[in-house]
Structure formats: structure tokens, C-alpha cells
Amino acid sequence: IRGLNDGPFDVLLIESDARMSSEDVVTVRAAMRDNNCVMAGSDWNNLLGPGVNHIRRDNSRWHTNGRIPGVAYIFAGEVEELRHNPEMRFWYADDWITWSAQASGGSILVGGTAVEHTGHVTNGGLPEPIATYAREDLVKFVEHWGGSPHDGGI
């Protein structure tokens, strides 16, 4: 998402089976920039009311329902630390960039916005080889970060 100038730009990542309204994209993007964060996502679990945001600037313990949705998010493109780790093949790729954002300026979960995820690969468990990728990605994630989002953080 870039204007006609050479200034800061934002990257919208949205999975092919997810939907987010253009109004919510604008709201989430503005909340990120207005609150000096480098990543933002919608409140996909409806934890927050409209106009209520949750900002995280570290990777301390937190509830997984309050995390940035991995199926659709925006990040500040000019921040070099916010690139996907090519070693992460599946489950923890979105968590890696989220934790990088929280360590590099902060993330914001924006209340009153939504993302619809119409499909989910984990219905009935992970098929192979994805299950193996998820286990291997978890090991890499914990080795680097010292904990995982699914054990409450570090």
C-alpha cells in the first residue's frame, strides 16, 4: 500500500481464503501509523470493542486469542526487520514476523475490525507433511525467541 511519494509504505498480507473489508484495511493501517506501531491486525476474536486497541511492544506472556491474525495483517514496509523468515515453512511464519514487530516498535490489535477466514488447514488435525513442518518450525522458533506464542510467550 503506497502513495505516489517515496516515503513510508505498508505491506498488506492476506491469505487467499481470508477476507477483510477495504474500510477495515484503512482503519487498521491508520491505527498502526497513528500509534507508532510497525504491525497491525484486526480483532478477529472480537476481544475488543470498536475504538479499543491493544498495543504490544514486547513478547511477554499473553493470551493467544489476542495475537495478530496470521491470515491478514499489515506491516510497515520500510522496517527491514519485518521480513518473513524463509526458514519458517508453515505454522510459525506469521508469529515470527509478529514477534519481530513487537521487538521493533510494536504491534496493534484494532478493535471493531474483522477478518473472515473461510478455510482452515487444521480442521481435523494437520496433514503430512504440514504437521512435520509445524513441529520443525516450533523448534526453530523456540531456539530463536526462547518461547512460543502457544505457551504464553516468554
The tens digit of pLDDT for each residue in 90-102 reads: 778 888 998 899 8
Spatial contact of 110 and 40, defined as CB atoms under 8 Å apart: yes
pTM of the predicted model, to two decimals?
A: 0.85
Q: End-to-end CA distance of the chain, in Å?
A: 32
CB atoms within 10 A of CB 60: 11
In the three-class reduction of DSSP (H, G, I as helix; E, B as strand; rest coil), residue 49 is classed as: coil
Spatial contact of 84 and 75, defined as CB atoms under 8 Å apart: no
The tens digit of pLDDT for each residue in 25-81 reads: 999 999 999 999 999 999 988 888 898 999 989 877 666 667 788 889 999 999 988
Calpha distance 90→127 (Å, rounded)? 12
